[in-house]
Structure 1
Amino acid sequence: MRTERDLTRLDRVFARLDRESQRPAHIDVPRMSRHRVVLFSATLAFYLSIVWAVVTTSWLIRLDWQVMFFRPYQQWPQIHAFLDYYVVLGQRGPTAVMVAAWLGWRSWRQHTLRPLLTLAASLLLLNITVGAAKLGMGRLGPHYATVIGSNEMGLGGDIFPSGHTANAVVTWGILAYLASTPRARRWLSALSAVTSLGVGLTTVYLGTHWLSDVLLGWAAGLLIMLALPWFEPLIARAELWLLDRRDRLRERLGRPIRVPAPAAPVGAPTVLKPRSPVADESARETVGAGRVSRPPAHLAPGPHTARSERTPVTPAGSRRPPHADRVPRGTAPAARPLAGG
């Protein structure tokens, strides 16, 4: 009994996804424009320059060690408790659950799997690119540093680039990427930038990352967001494939496939021509000739007296008490008997 109810709910979800014609038409799919290609190229150059600066033990390494010896968590201990919770906005598990819940509701409302598939594609790219860079460079964190002034590369670490920072850029940036209006996209882009900036600086404050780790994490997350339009055709094909698999599974289970009814065609607009008063009068007479005349709905049936012969009334009744000796207006009063002797 429970399994049957769950299947019915799943059918309702996919029934909404079948209504392709009801998707909002104003939601456009981002394209890889020339402006986006320029930003992608500049971010990639920044990414490579950070890696080169760390590998060659340049001034950036000296800055990393200066910040580490400054120990921000000892300089401002009063905000330590708050930042311990704030850094959760960069953890992959909790943030992915929160954003997936919101995008699942968006998929339900827009009758499309694209929001959830876009989130899945961005997280997959994040795990592949950032994970490969972490394992490939093997840098140790500030708490495990061995030689003062060294870049700590190739020692089996996994903190370069910062996964918290890159995850914050991608997870919260996907909300701006999927925004339905330009204004919402601008506001969400600013909000995601501030959130990821705060998460990156929080990891430096807590001493879990070098400053160069955070810089590379920002660049890594931004590269994924800028490259997403290249994967939009793949996301569209994945959506069609999932819906086709759903239909095949439904056929195997012997369940009917709901096909959305085609929308009724919209006919040509009807032009109303003005009619002459003579035509209106003749049509009124023709209609009235075939009907039995009846009093209006707000009048009681039967003969009606003239207005001058009626006592003014209100919804509460007559305003004047009836008088037996009152006669209608316009008639001669009856002769009265003469009083006296």
Structure 2
Amino acid sequence: MRTERKPTRLDRVFARLDREPERPAHIGVPRMSRHRVVLFGAALVCYLAIVWAVLITSWLVRLDWQVMFFRPYQQWSEIHAFVDYYVVLGQRGPTAVMVAAWLGWRSWRQHTLRPLLALGVSLLLLNVTVGAAKYGMGRLGPHYATEIGSNEMWLGGDIFPSGHTANAVVTWGILAYLASTPRARRWLSAVSAVTSLGVGLSTVYIGTHWLSDVVLGWIAGLLILLALPWFEPLIARAEERIFDLRARWRDRRRGAVPAGGPVGRPVVLRPLTDRADAAPDPVPTGRPASRPPAYLAPGPHTTRAERSPVTPAGSRRPPHPERHPRGTTPVTRP
């Protein structure tokens, strides 16, 4: 009797994705239009200008010190507890988990892996670009400043640009980037802009970042969102590759458990006298003709009546001079 393999949870997930493997037609993929290219170029120019203004210790650095001496956390101390919780919206771990849960549900509903792959690509770009800039410029924060009025560059810090702000822009902005309707995209863009703006100002309030760090973090996150359409072909190929690997893995699993082919016909043993003139039995399908079945000993086989039950120590029948083999005529006693 053959038993069917019980489907696992992963099989059920792939079965739902198989219902509509193509991307829904009503969801458009953003393209790198001329308008977006112009915005990307303008944001890149602003990024370089802010870095240059900090390097030459311009008016932007003086503004940083003025805000630091103002000490917002002392001026508005009643909102300190709220800001401590609000700034979590810019931390990479909690925000990535929340957004990934929402995009995972969208992937389930739309039968496509694009939302999750787009989130992964954006976070990868964020870690590479912002992380390299942080450790490359090595700016110290307000709490660790060494000289009043200096730009605090190349001193081993890691706050320029602000990672909290850039992460908030990318993590919450990806929801607007993946919106399925223009109205939803507008609303989500406004919500993500306000959220990232609040996260950046929160870091300035508690004194962990300079104001220029926050401004550069906003632009760094915006650059990543504007550059995402360039990676859409890579996302599409990755999605196709994942589905192809899934199909191969599923076919391999099906090959390991037979799907119900014809069962081999049992071999019927006949006495030697009957097998001499009879035609040989047909060889079962899939078994070599010159190889006997695995459960039969090689060589000629005797009938059950001709066998003698034996033990490892020999025959259990004691030797008797008057016992005759079966099938022979006993000699009459005198």
TM-score class, shorter: 0.7 to 0.9
Query: Following the alignment from structure 1 to structure 2, what is the Cα–Cα distance between the partners of residues 182 and 49?
Result: 32
Secondary structure at the counterpart of residue 184 of structure 1: helix
1:22 to partner: Cα distance: 6.8
Query: Following the alignment from structure 2 to structure 1, what is the Cα–Cα distance between the partners of residues 92 and 6?
Result: 29
Aligned to 2:243: 243
The answer to whether the 8 Å contact 2:40/2:223 transfers is yes
1:96 corresponds to 2:96: yes
Pair 6,77 (structure 1): closer, same or farther in 2 beyond 3 Å: farther
Identity %: 84
Aligned to 2:73: 73
Q: Deviations over 1:160-194 (max 9, x none)?
A: 00000000000000000000000000000000000
Q: TM-score, normalised by structure 2?
A: 0.74
1:228 corresponds to 2:261: no
Secondary structure at the counterpart of residue 31 of structure 1: coil
Pair 137,252 (structure 1): closer, same or farther in 2 beyond 3 Å: same
1:251 to partner: Cα distance: 2.4
- Runs of at least 5 residues in structure 2 that lack an aligned partner in the other structure: 257-334
Aligned to 1:189: 189
1:254 to partner: Cα distance: 2.5
Secondary structure at the counterpart of residue 254 of structure 1: helix
Q: Deviations over 1:218-259 (max 9, x none)?
A: 000000000000000000000011111112222222269xxx
Q: Deviations over 1:111-162 (max 9, x none)?
A: 0000000000000000000000001000000000001000000000000000
Pair 22,229 (structure 1): closer, same or farther in 2 beyond 3 Å: closer
Query: Following the alignment from structure 1 to structure 2, what is the Cα–Cα distance between the partners of residues 118 and 47?
Result: 24
Query: Following the alignment from structure 2 to structure 1, what is the Cα–Cα distance between the partners of residues 6 and 160?
Result: 44
Pair 104,255 (structure 1): closer, same or farther in 2 beyond 3 Å: farther
Aligned to 1:141: 141
1:172 corresponds to 2:176: no
Query: Following the alignment from structure 1 to structure 2, what is the Cα–Cα distance between the partners of residues 255 and 151?
Result: 65
Pair 199,5 (structure 1): closer, same or farther in 2 beyond 3 Å: farther
1:18 to partner: Cα distance: 2.0
1:24 to partner: Cα distance: 2.8
Query: Following the alignment from structure 1 to structure 2, what is the Cα–Cα distance between the partners of residues 125 and 104?
Result: 20
Aligned to 1:42: 42
1:25 to partner: Cα distance: 1.5
The amino acid of 1:36's aligned partner reads: R
Query: Following the alignment from structure 2 to structure 1, what is the Cα–Cα distance between the partners of residues 228 and 6?
Result: 34
Over the residues paired in the alignment, what is the CA RMSD in angstroms? 1.7
- Runs of at least 5 residues in structure 1 that lack an aligned partner in the other structure: 257-341
Query: Following the alignment from structure 1 to structure 2, what is the Cα–Cα distance between the partners of residues 28 and 74?
Result: 48
The amino acid of 2:242's aligned partner reads: L
Secondary structure at the counterpart of residue 115 of structure 2: helix
The answer to whether the 8 Å contact 2:168/2:199 transfers is yes
Aligned to 1:253: 253
Aligned to 1:205: 205
Aligned to 1:303: none
Query: Following the alignment from structure 1 to structure 2, what is the Cα–Cα distance between the partners of residues 218 and 8?
Result: 44
Query: Following the alignment from structure 2 to structure 1, what is the Cα–Cα distance between the partners of residues 38 and 12?
Result: 44
The amino acid of 1:237's aligned partner reads: R
